[in-house]
Amino acid sequence: MNAHRKSIFTHSVINAAFCLATIFMLNSANAINAAPCFDNPQRAYDYLLAKEKSDRQARDQRIVNINRASEGELVSLHGIGSSKAQAIVLYREMFGGFKTIDELAKVKGIGAKTVENNRARLSVQDR
């Protein structure tokens, strides 16, 4: 195989690999739409970064019912990591559901500032 054909073949294989990798990554995240194919690695990378940013923004705007949310949903809140999310779940199990959003500040490690930073995304009842 001459150098020119080898270059074209290599480019085609790389492009196919990016298409397959992108489709696999998007399908593994339960994406509904098929992923486009890209003519170079930079475009594939830029697409994946934009998709991740879009997914993160959608997650960051979702309302979280603190009486029903799982640990995974609670960690999407600002200032709430795994240990604080576990503390919220434990508090709920010990004392029952929250009647108001402000009661969240009763959980050890969560203060009024954390409640205020998340107020727009918090709920104590299903909407």
Token couple for 80:
């709430």
Highest-scoring range by mean pLDDT, 5-19, 21-35, 41-55, 83-97: 83-97
On whether the CB atoms of residues 28 and 85 are closer than 8 A, the answer is: no
- For the stretch 24-40, pLDDT in tens is 555 555 555 666 788 88
On whether the CB atoms of residues 37 and 18 are closer than 8 A, the answer is: yes
pTM: 0.56
Q: Which residues of 53-80 are buried (b: 16+ CB within 10 A; e: fewer)?
A: eeeeeeeeeeebebeebebebbebbeeb
Q: What is the pLDDT of residue 104?
A: 97
Q: How far apart are CA 93 and CA 44, in angstroms?
A: 45
Q: How confident is the model at residue 22 (pLDDT cuts 50, 70, 90)?
A: low
- For the stretch 57-89, pLDDT in tens is 666 668 999 999 999 999 999 999 999 999 999
